[in-house]
Structures are given as C-alpha cells and as structure tokens.
C-alpha cells in the first residue's frame, strides 16, 4: 500500500490525553476491521480521494469485507446502532411512468344575454 504509507507515519500515542479540537495536525484514528462505522467512513473517503489512493483503499476494503468479523468495544456499540440508522434502499434508476391520456376539457359556451 504505497499510497497509504507514502505521506503518513503511523504510530501509537505515547500517552493518553485530551483530543485537541483546535489542532489542525491532530490525527484521528479509525479501525475499520473492528468498527463498522469506521469501515463506512473509509468507503466514503475512498469515493472522494485521488484515484491511486482510491484503488488501494478499494483493495483494503475488499480484504476487510471478505475477512472475519472482528469487533472492538466501540465497534460493538456502533454495530448495535447500525440497523436503526439503516437507510431505506434507494433506487438507482427512476421508475418509468406510464403514459396517461390527456382528456381535453370541453369549453362550455356561456348563455347569451339579450
């Protein structure tokens, strides 16, 4: 995964500490093997990144999807919430509308006044 490791050095944090919301260089780590919400985030990210990275993410997503189901603490809680957030299946193709016959309205003539 050349594109995944080219720009980033991945390492464990030395100490637990509060997450600094104002630090633009602060990393945010997701574990797609253990958290279904993280896998969905990775899929969304793949749809919006440059092509070479998208190809590598696609292979990784395929490997995760084909592999064993592993859940961590947060992943287990997120998995319980997934069915309640499931969207109704959307149609990719619009329904064909049948032709409807238009009935011409007949204009009535008004009464003649004398």
- Which mean pLDDT values do the consecutive 10-residue runs of the chain (114 residues) have? 63 65 81 88 94 93 87 71 53 57 66 70
DSSP states along 55-86: HHHHHHHHHHHHS-----HHHHHHHHHHHHHP
32 lies in some domain: yes
pLDDT of residue 88: 46
17 lies in some domain: no
Token pair for 49 = 């990144």
pLDDT of residue 15: 62
7 lies in some domain: no
Q: Which residues contact 56 (CB under 8 A, 6 or more apart)?
A: 1, 2, 3, 4
CB 70 within 8 A of CB 33: yes
89 lies in some domain: no
58 lies in some domain: yes
12 lies in some domain: no
For 37, the 3-state DSSP assignment is: helix
3 lies in some domain: no
62 lies in some domain: yes
CB 35 within 8 A of CB 75: yes
- Cα of first residue to Cα of last residue in the chain, in angstroms, is 93
CB 49 within 8 A of CB 7: no
Number of domains making up the chain: 1
Q: Is this prediction's pTM over 0.85? A: no
Nearest to 61 by CA among 49, 77, 73: 49
Range of the domain at 58: 27-83
pLDDT of residue 95: 57
């Amino acid at each position: 995964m050349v594109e995944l490791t080219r720009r980033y050095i991945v390492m464990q944090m030395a100490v637990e500490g509060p997450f600094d919301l104002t630090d633009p260089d602060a990393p945010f780590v997701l574990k797609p093997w253990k958290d279904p919400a993280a896998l969905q985030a990775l899929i969304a990210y793949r749809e919006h990144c440059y092509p070479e990275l998208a190809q590598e993410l696609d292979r990784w997503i395929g490997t995760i999807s084909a592999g064993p189901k592993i859940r961590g603490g947060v992943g287990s809680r997120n998995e319980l919430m997934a069915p309640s957030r499931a969207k109704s299946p959307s149609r990719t193709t619009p329904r064909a509308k049948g032709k409807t016959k238009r009935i011409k309205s007949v204009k009535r003539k008004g009464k003649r006044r004398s």
